[in-house]
Amino acid sequence: MSITAKILVCALAALTLAATAMAADSGKPADWEATLEAARKEGSVVASIPPNAELRKALEENFSRRYGITLEPVPGRGASVITRIVSEAKAGIRYFDVHFGGTESTVKGLLPENILDFVEPAMILPEVKDPKHWWGGHIWIDNAKRYIYSFAAYQTQSLNYNSELARPEEVRSFDDYLHSKWQGKIGMSDPRVPGSGASLWSFILQVKGEDYLKKLVTQKLFLSRDLRLLAENLAKGRLAHTLGIGFTEFAPYLKAGLPVKTLPMPKEGLYATAGYGSLVILKNRPHPNATKVFVNWLLGKDGQEIFTRSMGEATRRLDVDTKWMKEFGVLPAKDGLTMEQYLKMENQSEERIYKVRDPGAALANKLLDGM
């Protein structure tokens, strides 16, 4: 080897060591800057997100300001957005990069279609990739533990009441909803479709049995797939109780000081969930590098604080404060549950969806047909 060649080799080695040292000093892997540069050239990332205006605005503004990459958020509810993603993927339309939302629609709508990519390879930054930063380590919704990443975990006090029409001591158990005074005064998120109503219905089936649900139906439940309508009806006194409605829908009425309150935990307990906190990455996505940047930002401290504050759903990140959420009837898993308790109560994993929620949905269709 010539002297010139040796000098070039040594110089290259020195540059490599310097780059590695700089990456180590910054706490970021050596390939992060290359990914970021490629992402900026792609220019944008398209994310399917939950239908929440506050979340949309915060994600869009903060991500774009941080990285100079345009985030195009597409808000949508479960089945409708999943149907669009699947139909476009099958037609060869490369539009969506990433989706996060509810679990059942993702498990049953996206997972079987072979259009999802592995999530873990997109986790680049140590504060995202290292399981020590997450309560419970890395938790996956799918059985293969590759495609649907769960970044939230909590129990939601989805039993609410109008404080001018009911008192909390009147409902300490699900049995108390069967009192004649509540007939025609109970609203519920329709359990015949994936969502919070189906989650609660299947949990009640587990803990109270089919006979109880048959009796509950005779209370002339007001069923709706429009959660905001249910929340409004409770806030304005048209209903005394609602079942399966969470913080997000009630937030405007709470801020307005209307008489909406959350019931204490019933003696039977409540299920644990990931809410809208399930993340998937699409195969053949149009912006592969921008997707990685968005995933690492969303799963980092800043992204998870925005998600938690906007959605009222508790992240599993250990460096994000969630203790304040108990005031609003949200019980973060990392602030009050052991992993054993969580695994016993969760009902959003692929296994539980087919073994618990499907039988619940079948019973709901049977009992509520025609309502």
Q: What is the DSSP letter of 71?
A: E
Please state the domain count of the chain. 2
Kindly report the CATH number assigned to the domain that includes residue 311: 3.40.190.10
Q: 207 and 260: one domain? A: yes
Q: How far apart are the C-alpha atoms of 322 and 345, rounded to whole Å?
A: 20
Q: 167 and 141: one domain? A: no
Domain boundaries, position 357: 158-269+353-368
User: Residues in the chain with pLDDT < 50?
Assistant: 1-26
Q: 102 and 180: one domain? A: no
Model pLDDT for residues 162-194, shown as the tens digit of each residue: 999 999 999 999 999 999 999 999 999 999 988
Q: Output the CA torsion sign for 284, 287, 292, 297.
A: negative
Q: 149 and 113: one domain? A: yes
The verdict on residue 334 lying in a domain is no
Q: Residue 243: helix, strand or coil by DSSP?
A: strand
Question: 0.85 cut: is pTM over it?
Answer: no
Q: 174 and 260: one domain? A: yes
Q: 174 and 213: one domain? A: yes
**C-beta atoms surrounding 67 within 10 Å:** 18
CB 35 within 8 Å of CB 69: no
Model pLDDT for residues 19-36, shown as the tens digit of each residue: 433 443 345 887 999 999
The verdict on residue 2 lying in a domain is no
Residue ranges of the alpha helices (H) in 27-146?
Answer: 32-42, 53-67, 78-90, 103-109, 126-129
Give me 359's structure tokens. Answer: 């039988």
- In single-letter form, the type of residue at position 246 comes to G
Q: How far apart are the C-alpha atoms of 102 and 246, rounded to whole Å?
A: 13
Q: 247 and 361: one domain? A: yes
Q: 47 and 136: one domain? A: yes
Predicted confidence at residue 24, as pLDDT, reads 37
Question: Which residues 6+ apart lie within 8 Å of 281 measured at CB?
Answer: 97, 98, 116, 117, 118, 119, 122, 291, 295
- In single-letter form, the type of residue at position 230 comes to L
Predicted confidence at residue 79, as pLDDT, reads 81
Q: How far apart are the C-alpha atoms of 43 and 71, rounded to whole Å?
A: 9
